[in-house]
Amino acid sequence: MNHTSIPETLRFESGQLLLIDQTRLPDEVLHLACSSVDQVHDAISRLVVRGAPAIGIAAAYGVCLAESGSRKSYIAAMDFLATSRPTAVNLFWALRRMRETLLRCESDFELADVLINEARAIHDEDREMCRDIGLEGAAVLKNCKRVLTHCNAGGLATSMRGTALAPIYQLHENRHSIEVFADETRPLLQGARLTAWELSQAGIPVTVLTDSMSGSLMRGGQIDAVIVGADRIANNGDVANKIGTYPLSILADYHNVPFYVAAPTSTFDPELPNGDAIPIEERARSEISHAGNRLMVPQEARVMNPAFDVTPAKLITGIITEKGVLQSPITSIQSDFLSVKSEKTD
Ligand code: MRU
């Protein structure tokens, strides 16, 4: 099998977390080295590293950078990193794993090694998850040639080939001809800057659209399926993802285009009954009011900048996970997920 080149989003080496600085793409491919908890917190908040699984991995490594290396400082690092962004549940999932690992470890001498091993395990599992979602999703999209995606749920949002883009990479490796339409994804342009960049690096044809174009393309029969990632999935299957995902799901439903979500089970939050309970991050006014240094919105006007919206489960054709595909109608992640596991072990 021909292996597609995928950028290494994050790497922990010589006591530093090295991140591709995603705020600089596609102009420059620069790395940022973080050697303190504060730097990792800042990198997550500023979207140097972003995308739900990548945020979780970065935070897990971030804990290992706690200055004195004492139990107290590791716990303080976990509490602080948990304030870096509110919506992607993978952040809290990874920090919970780190906390449970700390609590299980009885020896203070071994603590640093035990924590770095857990962070590496989270990172390794993410690579496997990307591969498995790729295989599951490639089977789902096997008859599709033109796929639309929103934001970036690719290698840059994970440790390897992403969630929503993993099936695309897999199909490309299988020599299936596939073309991607990437919504530019206002206001920070993760689709135009990041999805288009990483797919181009891999030699996969990609066309960037403004966010308002997708309806016309669907109406013209130019889109075979939509596939997006997720930041948090509530127990009833409602999905929080980048702002603009919800209207896309309505357009897909209206035009009978299948609408898939690809996400690892670490993005499930079975404690939340439905999407209304998902905390939605509100980001800075300046992300909308300015383009670079140029003012785009008069000072007197108010601006709204929620980073995510919620797509109701009933508009989702299927959720592609590393453990299998949850097909519509999705009613309870908890029980659907358990039934997927038992099907696989039967
Ligand atoms: O604000 P971002 O860039 O972190 O938003 C990312 C998304 O919305 C992704 O679609 C989601 O995290 C899934 S990443 C596999």
**Do 97 and 139 fall within a single domain?**
no
Joined tokens for residue 95: 């920090």
Give the nearest ligand 1 atom to 50 CA. Answer: 4
Cβ of 307 closer than 6 Å to ligand 1, yes or no, is yes
Ligand 1 centroid to Cα of residue 134, in Å, is 17
Q: How sure is the predictor about 332, in pLDDT bands with cuts at 50, 70 and 90?
A: confident
In the chain, the percentage of residues whose pLDDT exceeds 70 is: 95
Tell me the average pLDDT across 193-220. 98
Q: How many CB atoms lie within 10 A of CB 338?
A: 11
Residue 345's pLDDT is what?
36
Task: Assess if residue 4 is contained within a domain.
Answer: no
Cβ of 232 closer than 6 Å to ligand 1, yes or no, is no
Task: Assess if residue 112 is contained within a domain.
Answer: yes
**Do 162 and 304 fall within a single domain?**
yes
Task: Assess if residue 288 is contained within a domain.
Answer: yes
CATH number at residue 319: 3.40.50.10470
Tell me the average pLDDT across 167-185. 98
CB contact at 8 A, 199 and 182: yes
Check pLDDT > 70 for residue 346.
no
Scored b (16 or more CB within 10 A) or e, 185-213 reads: bbbbbbbbbbbbbbbeebebebebbebee
Active-site residue, selected from the candidate residues 231, 238, 269, 309 = 231
Give the nearest ligand 1 atom to 55 CA. Answer: 4
- Condensed to tens digits (0 to 9), the pLDDT of residues 238-289 reads 999 999 999 999 999 999 999 999 999 999 999 999 999 999 999 999 999 9
Tell me the average pLDDT across 307-323. 98
Domain boundary among 104, 127, 150: 127
Cβ of 330 closer than 6 Å to ligand 1, yes or no, is no
CB contact at 8 A, 130 and 160: yes
**Do 121 and 156 fall within a single domain?**
no
Per-residue DSSP letter, 191? I
Residue 334's pLDDT is what?
74
Torsion sign (Cα): 184, 189, 195, 197: positive
Closest residue by Cα to residue 53 from 220, 211, 292, 267:
267
Residue 339's pLDDT is what?
58
**Do 152 and 28 fall within a single domain?**
no
Q: Which residue has the tokens 């695309």?
A: 168
Q: How sure is the predictor about 336, in pLDDT bands with cuts at 50, 70 and 90?
A: low
Ligand 1 centroid to Cα of residue 69, in Å, is 31
**Do 69 and 172 fall within a single domain?**
no
Check pLDDT > 50 for residue 219.
yes
Give the nearest ligand 1 atom to 163 CA. Answer: 15
**Do 274 and 317 fall within a single domain?**
yes
Ligand 1 centroid to Cα of residue 227, in Å, is 13
SS3 content of the chain, % helix, strand, coil (to 5): 40, 20, 40
**Do 281 and 296 fall within a single domain?**
yes
3-class secondary-structure state, position 193? helix
Residue 343's pLDDT is what?
46
Ligand 1 centroid to Cα of residue 221, in Å, is 27
211 included as an active-site residue: no
Task: Assess if residue 1 is contained within a domain.
Answer: no
Task: Assess if residue 181 is contained within a domain.
Answer: yes
Mutate to test the pocket of ligand 1, among 89, 92, 151 (most ligand atoms within 8 A of CB): 151
C-alpha–C-alpha distance, residues 318 and 50, integer Å: 24
Cβ of 88 closer than 6 Å to ligand 1, yes or no, is yes
Ligand 1 centroid to Cα of residue 85, in Å, is 12
Q: 2-11, 63-72, 75-84, 257-266: which has the minimum mean pLDDT?
A: 2-11
C-alpha–C-alpha distance, residues 47 and 280, integer Å: 16
In Å, the largest CA–CA distance within the chain is: 64
Cβ of 122 closer than 6 Å to ligand 1, yes or no, is no
**Which strands form 146-149's sheet, in the order they lie side by side?**
206-209, 179-183, 146-149, 225-228, 259-262, 318-321, 324-327
Q: How sure is the predictor about 134, in pLDDT bands with cuts at 50, 70 and 90?
A: very high
ω before 270 within 30° of 0 (cis)?
no
Domain boundary among 127, 154, 170: 127
Check pLDDT > 90 for residue 70.
yes
Q: Which residues form the domain of 28?
A: 10-127
**Do 72 and 140 fall within a single domain?**
no
3-class secondary-structure state, position 146? strand
Tell me the average pLDDT across 295-301. 98
Task: Assess if residue 229 is contained within a domain.
Answer: yes
Check pLDDT > 70 for residue 95.
yes
Q: How sure is the predictor about 2, in pLDDT bands with cuts at 50, 70 and 90?
A: very low
Closest residue by Cα to residue 130 from 40, 45, 208, 198:
198
Tell me the average pLDDT across 22-35. 97
Give the nearest ligand 1 atom to 164 CA. Answer: 15
C-alpha–C-alpha distance, residues 309 and 303, integer Å: 16
**Do 104 and 201 fall within a single domain?**
no
CATH number at residue 72: 1.20.120.420
Domain boundary among 63, 97, 127: 127
HEC profile for 252-279? HHHCCCCEEEECCHHHEECCCCCHHHCC
E-strand ranges in the chain read 10-13, 16-20, 31-34, 146-149, 179-183, 206-209, 225-228, 232-234, 239-242, 259-262, 268-269, 290-291, 294-295, 308-311, 318-321, 324-327
**Do 33 and 60 fall within a single domain?**
yes
Q: What are phi and psi of 261, to 5 degrees?
A: -115, 135
Report the number of distinct structural domains present in the chain: 2
Task: Assess if residue 2 is contained within a domain.
Answer: no
* pTM recorded for the entire structure: 0.95
What average pLDDT does the structure give for the chain? Answer: 95
Residue 338's pLDDT is what?
52
Task: Assess if residue 3 is contained within a domain.
Answer: no
CB contact at 8 A, 231 and 21: no
**Do 221 and 310 fall within a single domain?**
yes
**Do 247 and 99 fall within a single domain?**
no
CA-based Rg of the chain, rounded to a whole angstrom?
Answer: 20
